[in-house]
Structure 1
Amino acid sequence: MKRKTVMLTPPLLPSRKGKVITVQLADDILILNFYQDKKLDTRYCMNTQTHEYECYDPEENAWSQEKAAVIAAGHDRWGCYVSDLEKKWKWEPEEAYEIIDEQLKPLTKYGGMFHSIENLEYNYTSDKRQRKEERRRERLEQLMNSIPQEPKDFEKKILEAAVKEHYGFYVAKKKEYVCSYCGDATRPDGNTEGKLTCRGCGNEIIPKKRIKKVTKHTGAILMQPVNNKKSVCRYYDAVVTWQPGNESIETSEAIRVMPLKDGATISDHGKRRSCEIYYNQYYRSSIYGACTDNFDKGNPSNRRYVGGFLYPSGIRETLENTLYEPWVRLFEQMAAAGAEANYNKLMWMWPGEGIIQMTEYLLKGRYWNLLKESSEHIGYGRYYGPLLPEGKDIREVFGIHDLQKIHRIRERNGGEAMVVWMQWAEKTGGKLAEETLKWLIDSNIDPQNISGIPASIEKIKHYLIRQQKESYPKMKMKAVLEQWKDYLAGCVKLKKDMADDMITRPRELKRRHDEIMEEIRKQQMIEDIRRNRELAERKEKELQEKFPEAEKNLQEVKGIYEYQNETYRVIVPKKLTEIMLEGQALHHCAGATDRYYDRIQNRETYIFFLRRTEEPDTPYYTLEVEPGGTMRQHRTYLDEETGIEKIRGFLREWQKIIKKRLTQQEKELAKISKVKREENLEELRRKNNTRVLQGLLEDFMEAV
């Protein structure tokens, strides 16, 4: 923008007050002067050749890039409705539109002058962004092209590190196992459950009788110097495949992390970082049109850093003079040993936190699985596993003073789960058989999960295995344990004798679990009734005044409708507050609204309680019954219908008994209630309330 030319050109003054825009030219710059009551607010300038635009604020003596429509809307970028602005502003001189058309040659001439200018502004900024993006992509492609090619032996070295075992694949016709390493066939001698020795290469092979291929997903890391300002750590997804006579690896580069040298940093979302990160975009065309792997800052493919194996060359040259230089010696040792780890997370953690010392202990002690797992358990710059990185020696790092237990972890190639159990064994003095330890780890059970269970580890194991087989065949072992803990917590709540093995380890855990939970629910209902009784007493007078005949009506029919057999009984409540408490205990709507009380008042329906004969004070089912015994609704806890088939049989029996007791008045009321019921159902149909309508029709039991 030719700012000096604009500043040397005096603004054209308006001839009237109000909102006026004066149009003038200064060389190839079109100037729109925005006036408010003859006071200059802003000078908008657009280059007639390039359509570059800027605006000048005379009060602030400052330049900025603001659209003409935004200025016209009072500098409100969210309220600039272009179609409304034309009516609010006057243009001077009279030929202002002709000047703009001639100088700018807008692409469109509809929607007003602001709309035409806005199109030119959009095209200019769009082209500007496109050129900027092209320059950025060109710089990025040059940077990526400066990265060295992968070493020829890259995949070979990673494969050597990743292949820790070999497999033998069964050929049924020859009754032989073909070695994945050398391709020779070996005939088994008797048992093939463990390992065989290949007669061709002499390696131990793991027999696979039913499958013809084994795959393992892992990762690979390649470190390379780039120039004197940055280097690159290349992270790959890798798949190792074992087949008869062939062991191979396939890699796919996912992420490139470029550490900056000599203390340089970049800004990333307001934070300073010592590296640049680029993600594989997958077949996005480059600026030259080639469809290849393409790296950029976005991550649309959701690529992730994975643990894997480090290529042994180029480590020192890559990390020297970077923030990650303290890792050089240890990474070289880990790569030479073929250690699998999440190298990116290790680099992410600040070396001063003791992580290097801990990792070195694990490497030199050959705790391979523990090394891998501990490197994964790093996040936000800290380690969150069971080890102590700041420990002064191996005992403090492991939190175990018995070296035999520490050596046992190495012999078994145990991970963090085994460390936790060895820490538990030292703390409690408990002993763990090899089979039991394997079962605990495979079941994902840790000491915290079994805390408080009144049984030894062996008894816990045998009990859970049996219960999974007999009661929970579709559940995982840890889920069965949670069911047992729920049951034990219920026993404590009900004050059972926890020293009795018959109580703590019931033969049928599922049945006893459900019974205990039901017993607790019943106690909770009774407690809710007791707690809410004070509220009911305050509510009683209000209900009696509002529905003075309701309680009287219930007492009049008590002798007709109350009945019991050996299993169930129907109870007629004495007070309306009893209905309210029943609804609160069972968590349904009976008693929550005046609708049911009004029906009792008018003798359209009654509310009765269905209880188990042996538990007359425990809410079970609530019944809404018409005069004559026709059943409108029957609901239990949470508006459910648990055990309804058994209940229906009793209700049929009850209907037959009370039929003999009905008075003439009840029979007449039954006819009226039927009419009101039909009206209610018709209203529900008219309102298309299918859910309530379906529930009522399912509950309906007409008295025969």
Structure 2
Amino acid sequence: MKRTAILKNTPPCERPEQISNEVQGVSQIVEFGGKEILNIDLFYMGHLRSRYFADKEEKSHAAFADGKWYSCMINNVARVCKDLDTIKGDGYYYGDDWEFATEEDKETALNYLGNYNVTNFEVCCNQVKYERAYQRKCRRIDEMMGKIPCVPDAMENWVQQEIFPGNYLFFKKGKKRTDYACTACGGRGWKKKGWKHGEMTVCPKCGAIIKAYSRKQEQTAKAPVILLQQHGEEWLERQFRAVCTWKAGEKKEIELYEEVRAIIPKGECWGKVYYGTESQADEFAQDWWDKNQLNKRFVSSYLYPGNLDEVLPYGDLQTSGLDLLARQKEKLNVNKFITTFHQRPWLEYMAKAGLTNLVADIVDRYGWWGNPESICTHGQSLQAALQLDGNRTARMKQINGGLNTLEWLQYEEEMEFLEKKIKITQKSLEYLNKKKVKKSECEDILKELKSVNRMVNYMIKQKIATNRLAQTWRDYLRMARDEGMDTTDDIVRLPKDLKARHDQLVELRNARRDAERLEKEKKKHQVLDERIREHLPEVKRYFWEDDTYMIIPAGRCEELVTEGRTLHHCVGSSDHYMEMMAKGKSWILFLRKKENLHKAYYTIEIRLEDDRILQYYSEFDRKPDQAIISKVLNKFKKNIKQQQDPVRIQVVAIA
């Protein structure tokens, strides 16, 4: 709608005869450009304050007031006529701040709008306006993405050879021969003598070194990959999820599913980010939007190194060391590196010194804010930046240590300065670096041992996941001290089986806590036990056994407390289940293996009203051997039903 031209060529309506304290609208239909336009002039206190135009063909409207145009709804325009502020939310304000001067004016507007009132017409216009804007935005983004250069063929080859370098020889052993299929050449064949699962061998057809595999006929692996590209006066950062598939009888296949794109102006390190709207689509099938609908993001990835020499100057990153990190196949958050490097130029020295692991740790852990205290950011040399002497700097470089390794070496140097003579062997340092053991997690342990090497030697022998080992050890030492044990004694502080000793102390502590609770609530439990005994004849029907399992109904509150403590679930942690038994609403049953009836296995809650099993759980609210236990419980429920159906029992007896 050419609103300014319409305004100039449309004379205003006549002022209403009666002056009102309300904003009054006077309507007329005007012709412009070969079509009819609705004009509603708004008068306030007898003065023309605004001119409003609506075009039903274009589904548009606009108002001129106080020397400027408004696109808000007419109710908000009426507020402007009264010298009031518009209600924020603009087109969605549905107030009642104006009225038609006469019924004729109202009829004129309604006839033009097709019996829609002005507000409904405006809502329709806003919907159309939104849809048009949405379509324009879609076309704009599609056009922009259509100009993005394709992924270079060399990148897929790099992913295949460097990120997923291996191949498989899938085989199946038969009675007389072993059939095989190679993913290096895609060939099939057979041999009289086969291979062992997992052994490295040579394909009989192509001679490639491959891994023999018999458990499945297909394997997949995934890895995040970043591609940087130049694009006119911009450069791109593209996040892919690379998927490698090894399938019997076919060559190894690589798929690159693109997830995030950043378009960055030349000379900048920040740009506009667009997100894929499909969960699994390559560069040609993916659709893009500037809102993150599927919660995708840039993640720690491998960076394709093939074209970095020509791309990095676009972000003034040619001396950043990012190319070295890529060639070393160091997995890091490339996006965070790019966007923060100019605030951390000292990362260059570490990358060029071969400390790629340290660079990746700093970028991933600290992101866009802050720097590690272990780094002297104004140091004039690598030693000064690492706050280490020459020998320890060399040791750091030798194993490509990360942040945790740096903190351990700084700790060793600090102890040497304090003349405490704590040394860390290279073997121990390599373990701490490989397992990413943090010094902060081991401080309580070191207070006891006074030796990093002894700590590491002990950790190596334990069968506990590394990420939980230090925490388990700290908890054990704390509980041992609470029990009055001498933690300076190696027999105490270095138990042969740390997990077993930790669990024993936990059980001892829980048993004491439960005993204290039982004593404290002794009278209450006695009352509950008496009421529970009243229902015991009723729950006799829940006694059940077969050749392997037995189900036993609980009979006392103390049994629930012991069961909950043993299996580490909530059945005895409160009085809830005890009270449900006392009221005759539900009952707790103990499922045991007959080979060890004293060992808790499963706890069951059953409703007395209809014998419906409400829940059943084992240790830590888990369900081991669930398929087997489900069948056992089905047999148990059938037995209960047979007891309640005397006719059926009689038929069975006759049979």
Cα distance in 2 between the residues matched to 1:304 and 1:138: 24
- Counterpart of 1:644, as a letter, is E
* Residue aligning to 2:295: 302
63-72 vs 381-390, greater mean Cα deviation:
381-390
Cα distance change of structure 1 residues 478 and 359 upon mapping to structure 2, 3 Å threshold? closer
Residue 644, structure 1, aligned to residue 585, structure 2:
no
* Structure 1 residue 482 displacement after superposition: 3.2
* Residue aligning to 1:448: 440
Residue 19, structure 1, aligned to residue 1, structure 2:
no
Give 1:258's match in structure 2, choosing from 263, 271, 279: 263
* Residue aligning to 1:235: 239
8 Å contact kept, 2:279–2:294: no
Describe how 1:457-472 pairs up with structure 2 within 5 A: none
Cα distance in 2 between the residues matched to 1:175 and 1:122: 72
Cα distance change of structure 1 residues 135 and 316 upon mapping to structure 2, 3 Å threshold? farther
- Per-residue CA deviations over 1:401-437 (Å, capped at 9, x if unaligned) read 36478447645x6655555545555555555678766
Describe how 1:602-641 pairs up with structure 2 within 5 A: 611=519, 619=520, 621-623=522-524
Larger Rg: 1
- Per-residue CA deviations over 1:598-633 (Å, capped at 9, x if unaligned) read xxxxxxxxxxxx85xxxxxxx46343888xx99579
* Structure 1 residue 375 displacement after superposition: 4.6
Give 1:282's match in structure 2, choosing from 265, 268, 278: 278
- Counterpart of 2:477, as a letter, is L
Cα distance in 1 between the residues matched to 2:202 and 2:157: 24
Describe how 1:75-224 pairs up with structure 2 within 5 A: 85=96, 91-102=100-111, 104-106=112-114, 109=115, 116-163=117-164, 215-224=220-229
Cα distance in 2 between the residues matched to 1:172 and 1:435: 43
8 Å contact kept, 1:230–1:260: yes
8 Å contact kept, 1:169–1:208: yes
Give 2:505's match in structure 1, choosing from 512, 533, 538: 512
- Counterpart of 1:482, as a letter, is Q
* Structure 1 residue 238 displacement after superposition: 0.9
Cα distance in 1 between the residues matched to 2:391 and 2:485: 42
Cα distance change of structure 1 residues 160 and 340 upon mapping to structure 2, 3 Å threshold? farther
Cα distance change of structure 1 residues 250 and 369 upon mapping to structure 2, 3 Å threshold? farther
Cα distance in 1 between the residues matched to 2:199 and 2:381: 37
Describe how 1:239-638 pairs up with structure 2 within 5 A: 239-241=243-245, 246-261=251-266, 274-282=270-278, 292-320=285-313, 322=314, 324-327=315-318, 330-335=321-326, 340-362=331-353, 365=354, 372-380=360-368, 382=370, 384=372, 391-401=379-389, 403=391, 406-407=394-395, 410=398, 415-428=402-415, 430=422, 445-453=437-445, 454-455=448-449, 456=451, 476=465, 478-479=467-468, 481-490=470-479, 492=481, 497-501=486-490, 504=493, 508-516=501-509, 611=519, 619=520, 621-623=522-524
8 Å contact kept, 1:198–1:204: yes
* Structure 1 residue 139 displacement after superposition: 2.9
8 Å contact kept, 1:14–1:35: no
Cα distance in 1 between the residues matched to 2:196 and 2:433: 27
Cα distance change of structure 1 residues 170 and 380 upon mapping to structure 2, 3 Å threshold? same
- Per-residue CA deviations over 1:130-165 (Å, capped at 9, x if unaligned) read 333333333333322222233333311333332466
> Helix, strand or coil: the match of 1:233?
strand
* Residue aligning to 2:8: 5
8 Å contact kept, 1:237–1:306: no
8 Å contact kept, 2:242–2:255: yes
Cα distance in 1 between the residues matched to 2:392 and 2:525: 72
Cα distance change of structure 1 residues 243 and 434 upon mapping to structure 2, 3 Å threshold? farther
- Per-residue CA deviations over 1:11-51 (Å, capped at 9, x if unaligned) read 52242535363423373453434456656665433346545
* Structure 1 residue 231 displacement after superposition: 2.8
* Residue aligning to 1:53: 61
* Residue aligning to 1:535: none
* Structure 1 residue 260 displacement after superposition: 0.6
Cα distance in 2 between the residues matched to 1:94 and 1:118: 17
* Residue aligning to 1:551: none
Cα distance change of structure 1 residues 693 and 310 upon mapping to structure 2, 3 Å threshold? closer
8 Å contact kept, 1:220–1:309: yes
Cα distance change of structure 1 residues 146 and 120 upon mapping to structure 2, 3 Å threshold? same
- Counterpart of 1:380, as a letter, is W
Cα distance in 1 between the residues matched to 2:245 and 2:426: 31
Cα distance change of structure 1 residues 334 and 178 upon mapping to structure 2, 3 Å threshold? farther
Cα distance change of structure 1 residues 42 and 448 upon mapping to structure 2, 3 Å threshold? same
* Structure 1 residue 297 displacement after superposition: 1.3
* Residue aligning to 1:63: 69
TM-score, normalised via structure 1 length = 0.58
Cα distance change of structure 1 residues 328 and 381 upon mapping to structure 2, 3 Å threshold? farther
- Per-residue CA deviations over 1:357-395 (Å, capped at 9, x if unaligned) read 245335xx3x56555555533511555596666554444
8 Å contact kept, 1:169–1:177: yes
8 Å contact kept, 2:267–2:316: no
Cα distance change of structure 1 residues 447 and 310 upon mapping to structure 2, 3 Å threshold? closer
Cα distance change of structure 1 residues 515 and 51 upon mapping to structure 2, 3 Å threshold? closer
Cα distance in 2 between the residues matched to 1:360 and 1:121: 60
8 Å contact kept, 1:30–1:47: yes
- Counterpart of 1:488, as a letter, is L
* Residue aligning to 1:591: none
Cα distance in 2 between the residues matched to 1:447 and 1:353: 24
Cα distance in 2 between the residues matched to 1:119 and 1:477: 65
8 Å contact kept, 2:529–2:556: no
- Per-residue CA deviations over 1:171-224 (Å, capped at 9, x if unaligned) read 767899998657899999x99999779999998766767566654422333333
Cα distance in 2 between the residues matched to 1:78 and 1:178: 65
8 Å contact kept, 1:490–1:517: no
Cα distance in 2 between the residues matched to 1:432 and 1:204: 39
> Helix, strand or coil: the match of 2:524?
strand
TM-score, normalised via structure 2 length = 0.62
Q: Provide the identity percentage.
A: 19
> Helix, strand or coil: the match of 2:117?
helix
8 Å contact kept, 1:260–1:276: no
* Structure 1 residue 121 displacement after superposition: 1.6
* Structure 1 residue 96 displacement after superposition: 1.9
- Per-residue CA deviations over 1:491-538 (Å, capped at 9, x if unaligned) read 55676644345654578433334435676x69xxxxxxxxxxxxxxxx
> Helix, strand or coil: the match of 1:452?
helix
- Counterpart of 2:257, as a letter, is S
- Counterpart of 1:255, as a letter, is V
Aligned residues: 520
* Structure 1 residue 236 displacement after superposition: 1.7
- Counterpart of 2:443, as a letter, is S
* Structure 1 residue 251 displacement after superposition: 1.0
Cα distance in 2 between the residues matched to 1:495 and 1:79: 71
Structure 1, unaligned stretches of length 5 or more?
110-114, 264-272, 470-474, 523-567, 569-584, 587-609, 612-618, 635-640, 649-689, 700-704
Cα distance in 1 between the residues matched to 2:560 and 2:303: 68
